[in-house]
Amino acid sequence: MRRAIKVYVLVTQFIFNMILGGILGAMLGKYQDPDGTSEALYSGIGLILGLFVSMLLLYQFFRNERLTKVDNEENGQSD
């Protein structure tokens, strides 16, 4: 159950980072060039940045989980 909650939180965070990155990019593109097509360009850049930030957060989470698991094994504790 605990693992399922962690996976749910990670997936939800990943999705929200992607959506918010795209929305923020679209808003920035609309502000910068209201008559042009830069809204789609900035949305794409926002999605890519959202993906990058999500990957960094996932990497940090898994690294911390691995370190915690190794630390627990050294101390003789079980999860």
Q: Would residue 67 count as lying in a domain?
A: no
Domain extent at residue 15: 2-60
> What is the rounded distance in angstroms from the CA atom of residue 8 to the CA atom of residue 70?
23
How many Cβ atoms are within 10 Å of 63's Cβ, its own excluded?
10
Q: What angle do CA 56, 58, 60 make, to 5 degrees?
A: 70
Q: Could you read off the pLDDT tens digit of each residue along the chain, which spans 79 residues?
A: 777 888 888 889 889 988 998 899 889 888 888 887 888 888 899 999 989 998 898 888 888 877 677 666 666 665 5
* Structural domain contains residue 11: yes
User: Looking at the domain assignment, is residue 51 inside a domain?
Assistant: yes
Sign, CA torsion 53/55/59/62: positive
Q: How many domains does the chain have?
A: 1
In a domain, 74, yes or no: no
Residue 70 lies in a domain: no
CB 23 within 8 A of CB 45: no
